[in-house]
Amino acid sequence: MKKSLLLSLILLSGVLLTACGKDEEQNVEENVQPTENFIENSVEDQQVAEVYDCATTIQRYLDGSDKNGQWEAVKEWDNITVDYIGRLEDGTVFDTSIESVAKACGVYAAERNYNQWLSFQAWAGQMIKWFDNGVMGMKVGQTKTVQFWPEEWYGEYDESLIVTSPTSEVWDMSYFNEWDTVYVWMGYPAKILKITDTEVTFDMNSELAGKSLIFDITVKSIN
């Protein structure tokens, strides 16, 4: 039933699909500055003229952070702002609000304002409950590392979310390549696994499905 429903949604949403393969790769290449070419611009980094790789940059950030905090602790319904590094168990960074880490780890986006921290109301349903659990009791200035298992975030990898459809019933595949990410059904992302003359196979799993996620979280303010 799940596979049939997904296939129907793909077929019905062909006109809404947007490619982000070739163009996205080009934009990423334009936005990402190689580690060896950048000099960090934040106040604390202006004193450092050396260049650091991803793992070293993260470690320097964690070594310089406060593990205890200084002021009031986060409680339910507080409006808080946080900085964060999101990484996998192998050290791959998939997202961060810290500019120096983003540049060193190849996830820098020029259009993003790294002076804006992540803001949300604790325990108000704006974040998944596991993230809310992680920040509860943290103090302003404190940095804590928390790990989330697959079932707590994107779930386990689901083979039933691999869907094959006749090419003729979807769209003109000449615009796409294998491993391109496309968006179907209200912007839901899917990766193209295989294209033949007659069929195209999609993977509807999140790229982070089945993976444990590690977040280094720093509470910047509580309002």
Question: Quick check: pTM over 0.85?
Answer: no
Tokens for 161, please give them. 């979310």
Model pLDDT for residues 16-68, shown as the tens digit of each residue: 344 444 444 444 344 434 433 333 344 344 334 356 899 999 999 999 888 88
**Of how many residues is the chain composed?**
223
What is the residue extent of each domain of the chain? 2-25+159-203, 32-154+209-222
- Dump strand ranges (E) for 41-155: 79-88, 93-96, 118-121, 143-148
CATH number belonging to the domain at 32-154+209-222, selected among 2.40.30.10, 3.40.50.2300, 3.40.718.10, 3.10.50.40 = 3.10.50.40
For 57-109, what is each residue's pLDDT tens digit? 999 999 988 888 887 899 999 999 999 999 999 999 999 999 999 999 999 99
Query: What does the alpha-carbon distance between residue 37 and residue 35 come to, in Å, rounded to a whole number?
Result: 6
- Tell me the C-alpha distance between 95 and 102, whole Å: 8
